[in-house]
Amino acid sequence: MNLRDRIGRLRAALFQVGVAARRLRPPQRLQAFEVSDGHISGILVINLDRQPIRWRRIQQELGRFRTADGASLVHLTARLPAVDARDGRETAPTADVDPIYHMRDQLFVQPDERLAASFGPDESIRMTRQEIAVARSHVEAWKRVASGTAEAVLILEDDAYFVSGAARLIDRGWRAARRADGSGPQLLYISYLDAGGTVQWADVTPHTRRPVRGLWYMSGYVLSRSGAQHLLRSMPVVGPVDLWINQRFAELDVLALARSALMQRPDGGSDNAYSIMPYLARAGVVDAGPGPVRPPVTGGGVVFAWNAGETDAVGMALSMLGYRVCSGGRAQRSGDGAFDAYVDAPLGPGLSSLLGPEVRCVVMAGPGRQGRLPDPAAQTLPPDRTLIWQPGETGLYRWEPLCQFLGLPVPNHDVPVGTDRAVGLFRCDAEAAPQGAAVHLPQDASPWILPGVRGQDHAGAAEQVAVFGAPTVHADLSTPSPALRTMTETFPGNLATFESAGVTFGPSGATLTLQASAGIGRPFRSGALAAVDTFTYGRFEAELQAARGAGLVTGFFLHRESPRQEIDVELLGSDPTRMLVNVYFNPGDEGAAIGYGYRGTPHLVNLGFDASEAVHTYAVEWTPTGITWLVDGQVVHMRPRWTPTPIPHLPMRLHANLWAPRSVELAGALAAGTLPVSSVFRRITASPLNPAELGMERQATDTQAPTAQASSSTEPRQETRPGPT
């Protein structure tokens, strides 16, 4: 357990002790609440069906208070079932919520120079499923208020609690907010957070404030019937609801208490995810993404599964649930237990011996199957341990049947479509742990890393395993290239912020210079380049001279988020005689916000020269069957599939940079007295994989992975296309 975990648990324990002590005190009177004109006469609590404990807690919290006429606040309270982010139907597009908003919307609420410098105002941002669910839940609350009889209703999220002195804050604020006719404002914030110190107030009194913009959170607010009706007329909600509501302040009679009377409980876990966080991290505003996500935990036992069509949907779904998935018949060839899910294993008599009492089977039923197992599955699979996973009425598959069958929680992502089965994403080309001269560094404890299997050094080899097309990026960096842009952002773990001024072009190439920063934010500034386009498979090459010095890294790599995937070439200034190669793999379709892990699967490869003394050529060849690293045309390291991870399969962007890691263990400590320091990129090329290569891979995979409707042969054919082994 790290220190943050200990502090968090201690804080939660102390909070629970305080809650228990408060319940021993006599109930407090809240004069603002009563079923009569001029009072808050209803309370609506937004609560998930799967969170009954939170519902009981909020009832206990409300039971600490009495209305003006002596009744418990619980008597005014109704529960509103929250929209669940785990249900894809509930977070599907509707007329109520538009999931796409823009950077200008974020900057309106919380202006930030670094964010504005890194992204244009038209940069589009897609809400997370959690944000969509929260917005839709509040919209349902507004509908209830607009159609109800109460003139003013307190809307609460179920993790709220009243701070010390809350009764006094609310009563004084409500009295100050009431108009001459006795009615209250259309919207009164009981709980809020100043947006990074940028909130603007139009009017400030001892007990209330009138906001212009700059308030986060909607865990507790009083909404009038007319206010609810106005919000419904203003829909759709565009972006996170607490962001969108700021743009309604000019249209509504909105007030906030002098300070928050409600806070969010620190003893309840949250699986919320914020769409703006990756942008804040890239701009250097924060130094973390949404936070570490524990890898999924499988329900135990082995799973055999079969796809219904041409995509590996069931394999991807099981991988997203935390299973180490292998496809294409390895279960027949190996009993090593390295995998806990086998996809599209050949059906027939030979399979029966592998289906022990702990094995469960999943068969995706295609349209028209109506719950029937196809032959020969009906004669092979145990019916009491087999799930026929059928699509719903809309033709889409849902997580609930699969997760209930496996005893796992439903993830906050859509059921995947998966990759084309021709890609063979989860096929395993590693039969044993190969030996090589690379130094294997500590790696993530991830369900998508195969323990004991490593990539292999191939020093001096000159083999080529794939055919690539003409370069789509061919940049002589003596002048700026239209295919590459200078970066004005950063990433978590980097002590430097990238700026356009950090890149200069000249006869020797693009010079990336890292130096001390005189501005706010991170202590250093540097330069970076990124390709305008993204790539799925190809050959990527750079002629470069690395920077020398502790605390420096010259990087040439492919990267993406949602899900996070990455292929790295990194030259450490603390030891420029070695190259760090690394892969990050997370499963999912485009948009699945899976980004577990911080170290990936790193290996140090000996170069045999000092990369800071002269220009050398570094290349990555990325194909569906493997990744090959080359230096000066010679293969130095290779990773086939599942050696030790699946191969990244989604489009990535090519980057070149010079950065300063926070991690002293990675590259040493940077001494400011050694700056400025530079690395030089003389040329960058990117060549896509020849489409014929994918066609040959389709041929090979189709012979290896028969579906539940295919032949009963138990002997898979060997792949016909040459590849790394």
Residue 293 has pLDDT above 70, yes or no: no
pLDDT in the model for residue 18: 62
- Give yes or no for residue 69 having a pLDDT over 70: yes
Say which range, 104-113, 211-220, 377-386, has the weakest mean pLDDT.
Answer: 377-386
pLDDT at residue number 701? 42
d(CA 81, CA 505): 59
Rounded to an integer, the average pLDDT of 340-359 is 82
pLDDT score recorded for residue 9: 58
Q: Which tens digit of pLDDT belongs to each residue from 495-504?
A: 999 999 999 9
When pLDDT is cut at 50, 70 and 90, the band that residue 437 belongs to is low
Q: How far apart are CA 491 and CA 485, in angstroms?
A: 17
Confidence at residue 183, expressed as pLDDT on a 0 to 100 scale: 81
In 3-state terms, what secondary structure has residue 345? Answer: coil
- Is residue 490 pLDDT above 80, yes or no? yes
- Cα gap 587→585, rounded to integer Å: 7
Residue found by looking up tokens 């059928």 in the block: 390
The pLDDT value given to residue 19:
60
From CA 528, how far away is CA 556, in angstroms rounded?
10
Q: 317 and 416 in contact (C-beta within 8 Å)?
A: yes
Rounded CA separation 543/545 (Å): 7
> In the predicted model, what is the mean pLDDT of residues 48-67?
94
pLDDT at 663: 87
Helix%, strand%, coil% for the chain, nearest 5: 20, 30, 50
Q: How confident is the model at residue 394 (pLDDT cuts 50, 70, 90)?
A: confident
Mean pLDDT of the region 562-575: 96
pLDDT computed for residue 7 by the predictor: 41
* The pLDDT of residue 34 is above 70: yes
DSSP assignment of 155-195 equals: EEETTEEEPTTHHHHHHHHHHHH--TTS---SEEESS-EES
**Pairwise CA distance, residues 684 & 665, whole Å:** 29
Q: Give the residue numbers marked as catalytic.
A: 570
Q: What is the rounded distance in angstroms from the CA atom of residue 402 to the CA atom of residue 390? A: 10
Q: Residue 680 has what pLDDT?
A: 98
Residues 165-178: what's their mean pLDDT?
95
Mean pLDDT of 73-90: 89
336 pLDDT tier (thresholds 50, 70, 90): low
Q: How far apart are CA 506 and CA 511, in angstroms?
A: 8
| Residue-by-residue DSSP string for 293-317 | -PPP---SS-EEEE-SSSB-HHHHH
Residue 77 has pLDDT above 80, yes or no: yes
In which region does residue 337 sit, left (phi positive, over 0), alpha (psi from -120 to 50) or beta (all else)?
A: left
First-residue to last-residue Cα distance in the chain? 39
- What's the confidence (pLDDT) of residue 515? 96
Percent of the chain at pLDDT exceeding 70:
84
Q: How much is the mean pLDDT over the chain?
A: 86
pLDDT at 332 over 80: no
- Rounded average pLDDT over 300-317: 90
pLDDT of residue 431: 59
DSSP string, 98-159: E-EEEHHHHHHHS--HHHHHHS-TT-EEEPPHHHHHHHHHHHHHHHHHHHSS-SEEEEEETT
Tell me how crowded residue 564 is: count the other CB atoms within 10 A of its CB: 22
For 229-281, the pLDDT digits (tens) are 999 999 999 999 999 999 999 999 999 999 999 998 877 666 677 899 888 98
Phi, psi of 429, rounded to the nearest 5 degrees: -100, 5
pLDDT score of 352: 76
Mean pLDDT of 395-402: 90
pLDDT computed for residue 337 by the predictor: 74
Tell me: pLDDT of 723 over 50. Answer: no
Return the pLDDT at 718.
29
Query: 666-708: per-residue pLDDT in tens?
Result: 889 998 889 999 999 999 999 999 877 665 444 444 433 334 3
Distances (CA, A) of 620 to 150, 405, 624, 654: 65, 41, 13, 11
- Average pLDDT of span 26-38: 91
Specify the pLDDT at position 304. 92
Q: Which of 155, 130, 608 is nearest to 412 (CA)?
A: 130
Q: Examine the pLDDT at 716 and tell me if it is beyond 90.
A: no
| pLDDT over 70 at 606, yes or no | yes
The pair of structure tokens assigned to 150 is 């109460």
**Which carries the bigger pLDDT value, residue 88 or residue 542?**
542
Instruction: Give dist(CA 140, CA 142) in Å, integer.
Output: 5
